[in-house]
Amino acid sequence: MNHERSSFLFQQAKIAIPGGVNSPVRAFKSVGADPIFIKKASGCHIYDEDGNSFTDYVGSWGPMIVGHCHPDVISAVQETMASGASFGAPTERETTLATMVIDAVPSVEMVRMVSSGTEATMSAIRLARGFTGRDKILKFSGCYHGHADSLLVKAGSGAATFGVPDSPGVPADVARLTLTAEYNSLDSVKRLIAENSNSIACIIVEPVAGNMGTVPPREGFLEGLREICTNEGIVLIFDEVMSGFRVAYGGAQELFGVTPDMTTLGKIIGGGLPVGAFGGRREIMEKLSPSGGIYQAGTLSGNPLAMSAGIATLNILKQPGFYAALEEKSRAVAEGIAKGARDAGYPIYSTRVGSMFCAFFSKSEVYDWPTASQCDTKAFARYFLGMLDEGIYLAPSQFETAFVSAAHTEADIEKTIAAAAKCFKLIA
């Protein structure tokens, strides 16, 4: 498959943009190739600058659950654009989408719109700190919550309590306020809480981890976090930027029946446009300025184009049978890929929650970051490049989630399964 023009455009981009990309994983570094530059998309297909067509399982990293360029979404954005792209003032659409979110997500009694997932998590943490009067936060290895300073932190060695910066530019004084536990381990959480009694404002977690591949919560994990936070006066934040409206209409909290105190959202509620949101219990949310003293603001928050795209998308998701049909498609493709690996005698560990799935290149179960990090990333790179040559577009990293959309057809899924079987035979 020819990628000559994409390679040329990448060289040009590197002159003007650091690393040639505006978000690091797009650079294809972990798979040892140059990125492909996308020209257009439709349904579940994307088309690059060289004229190649791909079946897309990235979906702009999740939001394209109804497919690219859905006519209802396009129409809503075009109609809104004709009246103005941004006002920096209230619009009725903001309340409409906010009400739809409140009706859908169990934990959300009030919601504030922002422009990105990073903004949402950063703001939710500030609000939790202001609400509790505590400074420390607890996160989990392998869970990504955006690039705010306090969240770019990994655990220290051994049983170290305090985090260390995971990126240059993050002050050590900020990092020391971030504690890092292991995903799916309540013992690691309890140990950190015991060592930091009455000083932790919030626990933030992806209820379905999607940034180390798709890692489901083990039975009792989310329920345990809920009980701990209730007993300790800690705000429990579910980061559902990825899983919200993706694994169920009410997100992972609806699917697993565990209600956090706050929720961060993004991706789907903008229908592909830049958006984020954070919401939760009324008594917490009312501490936000201007009703309270905790400051958060943004000129583009509640942007009318993003609100219109989100409203149109959620109206599609509400249609009877939408998630049942998506579940069946997702099951078929994930199980088909896993079968191809088994038939080739090549070990993978397959995971799926709703329309999020991952093929871990590991012989062992993956349930946290230490087990995920043992995957054979070189084998994944060969698989990724093989699938790309077969016209299947996956995320260019072992530690990312694949997404199925309503636009994927039976023929698309059959093509994907056949391509995977071929690739597993080649690398076995």
Which residues are part of the catalytic machinery?
144, 239, 267
For residues 241 and 264, give the distance between their C-alpha atoms in angstroms, rounded to a whole number: 6
Rg (CA), the chain: 21
DSSP letters spanning 175-194: HTTEEEE-TT-HHHHHHHHH
DSSP 136: E
Q: Is 207 helix (H, G, I), strand (E, B) or coil?
A: coil
In a 13 Å sphere around the CA of 75, the CA atoms on its Cβ side amount to 5
Q: Which are the contacts of 158, defined by CB distance < 8 A and separation ≥ 6?
A: none
Strand 200-205, strand 53-56: pairing = unpaired
Q: Do 165 and 229 meet the contact criterion of CB atoms below 8 Å apart?
A: no
Query: Hunting for tokens 């920096």 — which residue is that?
Result: 88
Does the bond joining 370 to the residue before it have cis omega, within 30 degrees of 0?
A: no
Q: Which are the contacts of 285, defined by CB distance < 8 A and separation ≥ 6?
A: 109, 110, 111, 112, 127, 279
Query: Hunting for tokens 């871990």 — which residue is that?
Result: 360
For residues 263 and 236, give the distance between their C-alpha atoms in angstroms, rounded to a whole number: 9
For residues 387 and 147, give the distance between their C-alpha atoms in angstroms, rounded to a whole number: 30
Find, among 34, 60, 38, the residue nearest to 48 by Cα. 38
User: Treating both helix axes as pointing N-terminal to C-terminal, what angle do 71-81 and 304-317 enclose, rounded to 10 degrees?
Assistant: 160
Buried b (16+ CB within 10 A) or exposed e, 88-98: eeebebbeebb
Q: Which are the contacts of 222, defined by CB distance < 8 A and separation ≥ 6?
A: 205, 207, 252, 256, 258
Helix (H) or strand (E) holding 339: helix 322-343
Helix (H) or strand (E) holding 255: helix 251-256
Token pair recorded at residue 326: 């998506």
For residues 279 and 120, give the distance between their C-alpha atoms in angstroms, rounded to a whole number: 9
Strand 136-140, strand 349-353: pairing = unpaired
